A and B are shown apart, each in its own frame.
Chain A
Amino acid sequence: MERTFTNFLSALRGADIRVSVAETLDAMETARLMGWSDRQSLHDALAMALAKTPEEKTGFTRIFDEFFAFESFHDRRDGEETEENEQADGGDLLAKLEAGDRAALALAMQEAAVEVGVENIRFFTQRGLYTQRVLQQMGVEGVDAQIQAMGGQGGGGSAGQALQESRAWLFEQVRNYVEQQLSLQGAATSQELREDRLRRSRLGNLDRRDREQMRRIVEKICRRLVALHSRRRKMKNRGQLDIRRTMRRNYGNDGVLFELEWKKRKLDRPRVMAICDVSGSVASVARFLLQFLYELHELLHDIRSFAFSGYLIEVSEHFKDNIADEAADKVMQKVGYMPTDYGESLTNFRESFLADVDRNTTIIFLGDARSNNTDPRAEYLKEMHERCKRLIWLNPEPPPLWGTGDSEMRRYRPYCDLLRECNTLNHLERVVNDLLETAQRAA
Chain B
Amino acid sequence: MTPEQLEKLESIERVREGYAELGYICSRQIATAIYVAGHLGKPVLVEGPAGVGKTELANTTAAYLDLPLIRLQCYEGLDESKALYEWRYAKQLLYTQILRDKLGEVLGEAQGIKESMDRLHAHADVFFSERFLAPRPLLKALREPGGAVLLIDEVDKSDHEFEAFLLEILSEFQVSIPELGTIKAERRPVVFLTSNNTREMSDALKRRCLHLYVPFPDARLEREIIQARIPEIPRNLKYQLVSFVQQVRELDLKKHPSVSESIDWARVLLLLHADELEADMVRETLNVFLKFEEDIQSVDADLYGFTRQAKKADGARA
Interface residues of A, Cβ cutoff 8 Å to B: 18, 20, 22-23, 26, 29-30, 33-34, 40-41, 44-45, 48-49, 51-54, 57, 219, 226-227, 230, 234, 237-239, 241, 256-258, 260, 267, 298-299, 301, 321
Contacts and interface: CB of A to CB of B under 8 A. Distances in A.
> Size band of the B side of the interface?
35 or more
> Which 3 residue pairs are nearest across A and B when measured between Cβ atoms?
A52-B211, A44-B32, A52-B206
B133 interface: no
29 contacts: A22-B207, A26-B40, A26-B42, A26-B210, A33-B36, A33-B39, A40-B28, A41-B28, A41-B32, A44-B29, A45-B32, A48-B29, A48-B36, A48-B212, A49-B36, A49-B211, A52-B206, A52-B209, A52-B211, A54-B47, A54-B213, A227-B160, A230-B159, A230-B160, A230-B161, A234-B161, A239-B79, A256-B97, A260-B90
A316 to B, nearest CB: 15
Contact of A57 (B33, B45, B213): B213
B39 A49 contact: no
Given A48-B210, A257-B97, 13 more contacts: A18-B203, A20-B207, A22-B207, A41-B12, A44-B29, A48-B36, A48-B211, A52-B206, A53-B211, A219-B200, A230-B161, A257-B93, A321-B254
Nearest to A57: B213
Contacts of B200: 53, 219, 298
B140 interface: no
Interface string B4-18: 000000001000000
Interface string B167-207: 00000000000000000000000000000000110010011
A237 B164 CA distance: 15
A381 B38 CA distance: 60
Contacts, number: 76
B315 to A, nearest CB: 33
B178 to A, nearest CB: 13
A30 B199 CA distance: 28
B89 interface: yes
Contacts of B90: 260
B116 interface: no
Nearest to A29: B40
B36 A30 contact: yes
Contact of A299 (B47, B97, B199, B203): B199
Contacts of A256: 97
B202 to A, nearest CB: 9
